[in-house]
Structure 1
Amino acid sequence: MAAVPNGIHNPGTADGWHGVIPSAEFPAERDRYHLYIGLFCQFAHRANFVRHLKGLADFIDISIVKPYPKSDEGWRFPSSDEEYSGATVDHLFGEDYLHKIYFRADPEYKGRYSVPVLWDQKAGTIESAELLRWLPTAFNELLPATLASVDLYPSHLRAKIDSITSWMQDDINFGVYKAGFSPTQEVYEKNVVPVFGALNKIEQIIAQNGGPFVLGKEITELDIRLYATLIRFDVGYAQYFKCNLGTIRHDYPVLNNWLKGMYWDVEASRASTNFKHIKENYTKSTNPNAITHMGPFPDIEEGVERHWSRLVVGGVKHPAVLEYEQTLPNLP
């Protein structure tokens, strides 16, 4: 195994890897990198979404862990590609558990064994887990102009992207987990309110910008961050994380239309979404009887409203939600 480059990871610690493509250590090359993901994980979903959106499937191969069970040894690969639909064997090393990939990069690693993982086959190490910011441009020099021109962090929108990210990441993307894993009733009631305050705010922002994306006509990394959470909301978070002050399809007409548009109009959305993995990750990992809910039906609704002005802005009207909503900043 090649030595881990200095400054990329501190061996024997819980520190993650912080390599970036392209760089001197990690150049953009076809078939050099291998992506490990779980289709259930919203953060791995972001990387897989970009992989499809930017046409990187021919550059980066993929291995997919099963959505359950997660033991003390972490996520497991199926014994064959037929064992569990949508999951795959470890195509690189034939390992049974994801943690063994981490130990290949650092035998003394002491951190979490999470997805996504981007493995460098030449350096014998892992690249950064913070993929969303740099992966969209990492292979531009090798892509056709139509794909290279897809910019998820355009300079003229960066101030708005950064402003929304500052609270959307904490209140929505991580917020559902803070609510779902709250240790007490008091903590839960404190944590669930920001989720819906932020959803109320995003509902208004999309309506003001006229869709079809968060900031208007251009898809940005905000859409990918939001999609990876909201595609799981009604089918998972509302039920198993107790985020049920409202649902996307019932209480948020604009967000629901945005979500339908993302799913049906953006091919990368459908290519990277697997509802079976999403549902069974929650139910069969946390439910002692491993019973998976059938609903809601359908998982995602059809019928995108193309005339956004016809939509009535919705939101959850709980007093604490409305109070929190007022604390969120307006766009610069």
Structure 2
Amino acid sequence: MSKQWADSKDGAFKRQVSSFREVISKTHPIYKPAANRYWLYVSLACPWAHRTLLTRSLKHLNTVIGVVVVHWHLDSKGWRFLRYPTDKSSIDENIYHTVSGGIDNTQSITMKPFASIPNDSDRLWIDGTPDPLNQFQRLSDLYLKSNPNYSDRFTVPVLWDSETNTIVNNESSEIIRILNSGVFDEFIKDSTTSSTEIINLVPKELESQIDEFNSWVYDNINNGVYKAGFAESAIAYEKEVKNVFQHLDRVEQLLKSKHQALEKKFGPDSKEILKHYFVLNNQLTEADVRLYTTIVRFDPVYVQHFKCNLTTIRDGYPYIHLWLRNLYWNNDSFRLTTNFNHIKLHYTRSHTRINPLGLTPLGPNPHILPL
């Protein structure tokens, strides 16, 4: 998640380039695949971290790769972990390796009104988790442990190697390719999942289409909302917000054509339509994963917080809206890795230049509509 502000010359937002870019493979001299060796450090609010968490879940890697969740509030020192309890018996070590979303979303946790939740709230498995590996207090400790001379921002996600105590990779697009590569498949302990049932999010025959789709979605939608929201001149803002919606229009037309083709094949009222309703080739791919983490945040935060308010997804894009709800309600991985409380609290409390009073809007209600 970026907190880097606009370039002072033209008011345009510039995103930092990731620094750690290693891979994990059987032929790598250091980073070889293994169970329980690698960990993801994520924010449930951050769309870039969310796509790595989502890929981990879709690939059935919950028992192979542990997850540590930072607190939703990003303060002046960066991301922080919850305090590690003095009574270690209160920590269920297994949950780091089993829960899809890093925090157990299967239980209905009654949330306090937003106004009553302080930024230093320290609720275990609700506001975040401790760091069980190093008992570090901040994400910055991981970066400085890996490179004492590191001087850039401390960003999520982080793919951490517990054997060498260093960061393997902090570029989300590369982390999801590592998780999808199949190098961890042999360690999956889910007895109900066979190797033939493990989805390949980047099939070879679709890789070029996925890369092409991702390229314009990333620049104009994933990062486009940030370029609009973090703009510091009216000219830059208006240019970027128009660009976001022009490219949402493009996705809408793509999904409209997809839906019409599926209607012709299965019939207009067939339940089979939603089983094939994805952006590419009628199958779930990385393209859906990378688009989803922006679209699911659009109405709850980007409309009001980043002023991307020409319309909402639910009101202005019926085919994107159906695609979004289909993924959320019909696939546990999408639903369980999406935490609307972290999303809304993080953006509205952490970006003080955009929202200096730190007020968190209650709407939209509900955050996502039923299917």
- Normalising by structure 1, we get a TM-score of 0.83
Instruction: Tell me the C-alpha RMSD between the 2 structures.
Output: 1.8
Q: How does 1:74-85 map to 2 (within 5 A)?
A: 74-79=78-83, 83-84=122-123, 85=126
Partner-residue secondary structure (3-state), 1:118: strand
* Displacement of 1:54: 0.8
For residue 226 of structure 1, what is the aligned residue in structure 2? 291
Retained in 2: the 8 A contact 1:178–1:191?
yes
- 1:118-143 CA distances to partner (integer Å, 9 max, x unpaired)? 11011221111231222212313434
Alignment of 1:1-332 (within 5 A): 16-23=19-26, 24=28, 25-71=30-76, 73-79=77-83, 83-84=122-123, 85-129=126-170, 130-137=174-181, 138-143=183-188, 145-146=194-195, 149-210=198-259, 211-286=276-351, 287-303=355-371
Q: Which runs of 5+ in 1 are unaligned?
A: 1-13, 304-332
Q: Deviations over 1:196-226 (max 9, x none)?
A: 1111111111222235111142111110111
Distance 1:157 1:15 in 2: 26
Could you tell me which amino acid in structure 1 is paired with residue 295 of structure 2? L
Higher relative contact order, structure no. (Cα contacts within 8 Å, ≥ 6 residues apart): 2
Residue type matched to 1:75 in 2?
A: W
2:81·2:128 contact (CA, 8 Å) conserved in 1?
Answer: yes
In structure 2, the residue corresponding to 1:171 is in which secondary structure?
A: helix
What is the identity, as a one-letter code, of the residue corresponding to 2:71?
A: K
CA contact (8 A) 1:77 1:98 kept: yes
**C-alpha separation between the residues in 2 aligned to 1:41 and 1:133?**
18
Cα distance between partner residues in 1 of 2:25 and 2:369: 39
Compared with structure 1, are the counterparts of its residues 226 and 232 closer, same or farther at alpha carbon in structure 2 (3 Å cutoff)? same
TM-score, length of structure 2 as denominator length: 0.74
Give deviations 1:216-249, integer Å, cap 9, x for gaps: 4211111011110011000000110011111100
Q: Quick one: distance in 2 between partners of 1:224 and 1:54? A: 12
Amino acid at match of 1:261: N
Contact (CA 8 Å) 1:42, 1:228: kept in 2 or not? yes
Q: Secondary structure at the match of 1:231?
A: helix
Identity of aligned residues (%): 40
Q: Is the 2:229–2:308 contact (alpha carbons within 8 Å) kept by the matching residues of 1?
A: yes
| Distance in 1 of aligned mates of 2:122 and 2:147 | 29
Distance 2:132 2:278 in 1: 35
SS at match of 2:155: coil
**Would you say the 8 A contact 1:49–1:224 is kept in 2?**
yes
For residues 153-177 of structure 1, the C-alpha deviation after alignment (integer angstroms, 9 at most, x for no partner) is: 1122223212211211100000000
Whether the 8 Å CA contact 1:38–1:67 is kept in 2: the answer is yes
Q: Which residue of structure 1 aligns with residue 111 of structure 2?
A: none
Q: CA deviation at 1:145?
A: 3.6
Give the secondary-structure state (helix, strand or coil) at the position aligned to 2:159. Answer: strand
Unmatched 5+ stretches in structure 2: 1-16, 86-120, 260-275
The worse-fitting range, judged by mean Cα deviation, of 127-136 and 184-193 is 127-136
Supply the AA of the counterpart residue of 1:112.
R
- SS, match of residue 283 in structure 1: helix
SS in structure 1 at match of 2:169: coil
CA contact (8 A) 1:118 1:128 kept: yes
Give the superposition deviation at 1:149.
3.7
